[in-house]
Amino acid sequence: MRVLGIESSCDDTAAAVVTGDGRILSETNRHQYSVHEAHGGIVPGLAADQHLRNIPEVVRDTLAHANLTIHDIDAIAVTRGPGMPGGLTVGLAAAKTLACVHNKPLIGVHHMEAHALMARMTHTVNFPFVCLLASGGHTLTVAVHGVNEHTLIGSTRDDSVGEAFDKVARELNIPWINAQHGGGPGAALEALALEGDAARFAMPVPMDKTDSARSPDFSFSGLKTHVRRLREAAGFNIQDRQDRADVAAAFQTTAVRHLAKKTALAIVRARDILGTQPQTLVVSGGVACNQAVRAGLEALAMQHKMALVCPPPQLCTDNGVMIAWAGIERLRCGLLDPYSIDFIQRWPLDQLKHMRDRSE
């Protein structure tokens, strides 16, 4: 089985061909860091324009690098949502046209389910498991019962953790890292934090008060505001690299503590939801590339006698491989879609099963 996966939900135009046994035959990813850095964040209209320019060559190059033609592909998987409407429309139009013209099965993929399932391609991960999905657009914990079936446990009440990293990097005037893998503002903040002293500008852990401490939800807007206020405080000089490194380290340390505390609550709740002790904690999404995040959650998993599984860093950020693999998982379950499907901009992960039940 060979599946072509297409991803265009944010600022990466990506495609990959993956086999049923998890071999990556080829992958292509066009980033847009240079387009968006001057604006301090992703501009949806500019991102959609770049997708329009990039997607023909991305698909062509992916097939060529695998020494395949579209006739050798068994199915086409594409990100249906959630994400930016402009980018999703571009990817869906390409995938639907290819699938319809060449009479290939079409699989519309939920972006966050693709992140959650990615670990099953790179590691032996059995259902059920607990998953922390941490990215630029989302931060949530879910109990993963199986393909297409997820129970939401906690989610962010405001900013995602990835968004907070990006915005704090902007507050600290940290130049983005422009790299094929592991680039952007969040990676730049992580690199600078390595030079810093987290204790110098200690920050309060969010939602640590009595009324919110037991909630599995996340909140990062307060941390972002705290950093903004530090810019105006005596003893901090935005021009001083060490000052910026110390704040970056303090922010990152506090964000990791918050992630770990709320994920710990999610693990406890997952036991009741699943009716069993989950054996695996999967952490995926772009923020899972962060080594401090991985270290903090590794310690948490050990406390709960669970295995921590993170996909390789290059497969944590948005990519075509995860879409192709999710397509394979769904294809095996008979979860195909008509050529008429449209994008879904906001799409709670726990609605997947209910949407399929209604369609049947």
Angle between helices 161-171 and 241-274 (to 10 degrees): 170
- Residue 233 predicted with pLDDT over 70: yes
- Tell me, what's the pLDDT at 360? 42
For residue range 248-257, list pLDDT tens digits in order.
999 999 999 9
Residues paired with residue 263 on neighbouring β-strands, in sequence order: none
Under 8 Å between Cβ of 87 and 58:
no
For residue range 169-199, list pLDDT tens digits in order.
999 999 988 765 667 899 999 999 999 999 9
Residues paired with residue 143 on neighbouring β-strands, in sequence order: 130, 151
Under 8 Å between Cβ of 256 and 293:
yes
As a whole number, mean pLDDT of residues 44-63 equals 94
Q: Which of 6, 16, 18 is nearest to 93 (CA)?
A: 6
Question: Six-digit token pair at 142?
Answer: 């879910």
- Residue 125 predicted with pLDDT over 80: yes
Question: Six-digit token pair at 322?
Answer: 């995860």
- Tell me, what's the pLDDT at 358? 47
